[in-house]
Amino acid sequence: MTRRPASFTLLASAGEARTGILHLPHGDVPTPCFMPVGTRATVRGVTPTELHALGASMVLANTYHLWIRPGHEVIRALGGLHSFMGWEGPLLTDSGGYQVFSLREHTTVTEDGVRFRAPLDGAYRTLTPEVAVEVQEALGVDVAMAFDECLEWPAPRARAAESAARTTRWLERAQKARNAPERTALFGIVQGSMYPDLRVAHAQELSGMALDGYAVGGLSVGEERETMLELACLTATHLPPDRVRYLMGVGTPRDIVEAVLGGLDLFDCVLPTRSGRHGQAFTSVGRLNLRNACHARDPDPLDPTCACEACTGFSRAYLRHLVMSEELLGRRLLTLHNLSYYQHLTTRLRAAIADGDATCLRGLREESTRASKPA
Amino acid sequence: MTRRPASFTLLASAGEARTGILHLPHGDVPTPCFMPVGTRATVRGVTPTELHALGASMVLANTYHLWIRPGHEVIRALGGLHSFMGWEGPLLTDSGGYQVFSLREHTTVTEDGVRFRAPLDGAYRTLTPEVAVEVQEALGVDVAMAFDECLEWPAPRARAAESAARTTRWLERAQKARNAPERTALFGIVQGSMYPDLRVAHAQELSGMALDGYAVGGLSVGEERETMLELACLTATHLPPDRVRYLMGVGTPRDIVEAVLGGLDLFDCVLPTRSGRHGQAFTSVGRLNLRNACHARDPDPLDPTCACEACTGFSRAYLRHLVMSEELLGRRLLTLHNLSYYQHLTTRLRAAIADGDATCLRGLREESTRASKPA
């Protein structure tokens, strides 16, 4: 039997919350873990050295974007995605499902897959479960996500049930298509829209498929935040305890803390990087908008409790000046700070769960609520 | 008598070329020196730590831009420009003359100064020799440039003569306006358009004014490159040998080498930073345009002789991918490389002059010619 490319060691629990280690070919990932988003083989404006220094252990890239440009064969010829982007740690790619479905206008969905017109060159392409595996294995990532059907919200129950069933069939095809199962893990994605019973049934169905890891997908598509968290946590309780659980595309600091308390382990979101580029900073005293005039003469750091380069080297007044002047360095420093904040948050979550420290977990819940609101 | 804030120690000469040390309140600057341009109190996308690491000893910022935003009083209240931008080494600011003259449409030039309408808030302001000194002293820079009249090209001889005379009168007013002559040096700017005799006469006139340093201005305004270099080098020979000589806004690697061979010491130019943001790299094998398809699968570094982060960590193929995807990291890494190239060039110029190594100087002349042309 082939050795699994991904395994999960549970170290400690506190209620539903877990801390553990996800073992992958390019290294160990302590969980709970937040993955910075590097869509086009780069976390915008940040070098791999900096990502490592701020504590990131795993980075997410995007199958769809890299397939279109520069092409997975180019990346394979250059030694794979790790070598291409200079990141030696674990990499996960999402399957491209979300991207092709969001093109809408020029897409045709069939049982085979999704035919779409690529915005860059106008050419028609078809993304299937097999292609998604092929591309991700060519990239040589540690974790490939299975190609799933992404449903809009609201969706009728029958449509949601059919979509979950198709996602299962696509997952079976993805499993058969694997050529490097010892090198690239395959995670399945639980769908079921906002119907709790469909979510549970789909989680149970996928649990029987002995996957390397499990993701909760199809959330954060416009539903209420409470609905999203309830469904994510409900799904988590029906997934195998000896596998890692990944909540895709979530979220604010408080979403992450709540989801960790509900049993999720792995997260990715564009929020820290995108907000940083737009002059927003997540801090222990609240979310700061550097465009606000109150920061114009403020000699204090963004967050006095933060040890990142932005906080130790510069004042709010200077960072605001960079933001107002639309300077690259402003986007870069705020991105760095926000990623540092997210990493520091998950570091503290891991320690609090390991120590079974309920007071600390409550404190993180309060701080993350504060950090997610304007100061 | 007040101690001069700037002095120049000549270490060695080779023909007209000089190597020395410019002593300034915030440190010593080995010359020939290239100053990265940090217009708005930031070298676009690069941190002060990185500037220091790549060998920059002195940075240029812009009086006009900082006066308009965030305002010199804000920067003064925050401890001055060094503290504001986190750069502890020497700083020079240009006087803002070039910027207000380039606004044209909404400017009125009188003997008093230049009245103009600021693009940001639409308010009218007047930049005078006194205001330029006041702003630069408030910024607390090591070197303030005197406010000069910047002439368009072509300009009639009579207009050029009158403009140089006005620049002298403005320089005299700037000298009288100084309040911190022990902390901020004042450099005068030689004008005279493209008339060699006017240039010589103005250089001689300014030489009699015992300034802390001298700049050659009003060049690179559309004239032929050979004309520019001839006039710059002619001017240099009529400036005091015991003062530093700064050629403003120049240039390509070969311009810098030629000007150094003609006796100039100090340079600034947006070329390495701006070209980097546009996907161009200066290398020992020529100027590369990363947009060219030939780099799409190239696993080699930008420049095999370069030790910068871009060259040691990434392939041309990856850098091209970043450029094509308009990724921040691409602009950042190419900027870093180009600045490294310029610093490495001036380091080698200093060594060759100190060693009186004519072969090496000839080699640098050849390499810089190559680096300035498409590969």
pLDDT digits (tens, 9 = 90+) for A272-314: 999 999 999 999 999 999 999 999 999 999 999 999 999 999 9
Instruction: Give the pLDDT of residue A351.
Output: 98
B207: amino acid identity, one letter: S
Instruction: Give the pLDDT of residue A2.
Output: 56
Residues 280-299 in A contacting B (C-alpha not used; CB under 8 Å): 296-297, 299
Cα(A372)–Cα(A91) distance, integer angstroms: 27
Predicted complex: ipTM over 0.90: yes
Instruction: State the average pLDDT over residues B164-191.
Output: 98
Task: Choose between A233 and A121: higher pLDDT.
Answer: A233
CB contact under 8 A, A327 and B42: yes
Instruction: Give the pLDDT of residue A121.
Output: 87
Q: What is the DSSP string of A35-67?
A: EPB-TTSS-TT--HHHHHHTT---EEEEHHHHH
Query: How far is B319 from chain A, CA to nearest CA, in Å?
Result: 9
Cα(A268)–Cα(A342) distance, integer angstroms: 10
Mean pLDDT for all residues in chain A: 96
Is residue A144 a contact partner of residue A137, using CB atoms and an 8 Å limit?
yes
Query: How far is A319 from chain B, CA to nearest CA, in Å?
Result: 9
Instruction: Give the pLDDT of residue B97.
Output: 85
Pairing of strands A280-283, A286-289: antiparallel
- Substitution target in A62, A309, A323, A329 with the highest count of B β-carbons within 10 Å is A329
CB contact under 8 A, B315 and A78: yes
Instruction: State the average pLDDT over residues B298-326.
Output: 97
CA A26 to chain centre: 18
Q: Which of A142, A148, A265, A268 is the catalytic position?
A: A268
CB contact under 8 A, B314 and A86: yes
Is residue B210 a contact partner of residue B243, using CB atoms and an 8 Å limit?
no
Output the CA torsion sign for B334, B340, B344, B346: positive
- Parts of chain B belonging to CATH 3.20.20.105: 7-268
CA angle A339, A340, A345 (to 5 degrees): 100
pLDDT digits (tens, 9 = 90+) for A109-149: 999 999 999 888 889 999 999 999 999 999 999 999 999 99
Q: Is the pLDDT of residue A1 over 80?
A: no
Partner residue facing A321 (CB), from B46, B70, B327: B70
CB contact under 8 A, B318 and A86: yes
Give the predicted TM-score (pTM) of the model: 0.97
Cα(B216)–Cα(B196) distance, integer angstroms: 13
- Looking at residue A294, the DSSP 8-state letter turns out to be G
User: Which residue of chain B comes nearest to A335, CA vs CA?
Assistant: B328
pLDDT digits (tens, 9 = 90+) for A8-60: 999 999 999 999 999 999 999 999 999 999 999 999 999 999 999 999 999 99
Instruction: Give the pLDDT of residue B2.
Output: 56
Q: Does domain B7-268 bear CATH number 3.30.450.20?
A: no
Q: Over pLDDT 90: what percentage of chain B?
A: 91
Burial of B37 (0-12, 13-18, 19+ CB in 10 A): buried
The two tokens of residue A254 are 């408080």
Burial B73-83 (b: 16+ CB within 10 A, else e): ebbbebebbbb
Helix count (H) and strand count (E) of chain A?
15, 16
Partner residue facing B309 (CB), from A40, A47, A320: A47
Instruction: Give the pLDDT of residue B231.
Output: 98
Instruction: Give the pLDDT of residue A82.
Output: 98
B86 touches chain A (CB under 8 A): yes
Task: Choose between A374 and B42: higher pLDDT.
Answer: B42
Is residue A5 a contact partner of residue A142, using CB atoms and an 8 Å limit?
yes
Cα(B102)–Cα(B107) distance, integer angstroms: 9
pLDDT digits (tens, 9 = 90+) for A205-214: 999 999 999 9
Cα(B242)–Cα(A120) distance, integer angstroms: 59
Output the CA torsion sign for A312, A316, A321, A325: positive
pLDDT digits (tens, 9 = 90+) for B145-165: 999 998 989 999 999 999 999
Question: Under 8 Å CB-to-CB from B20, ≥6 apart: which residues?
Answer: B8, B9, B10, B11, B12, B30, B31, B244, B265
> Chain B contacts of A85, Cβ < 8 Å?
318
User: Which residue of chain B comes nearest to A69, CA vs CA?
Assistant: B321
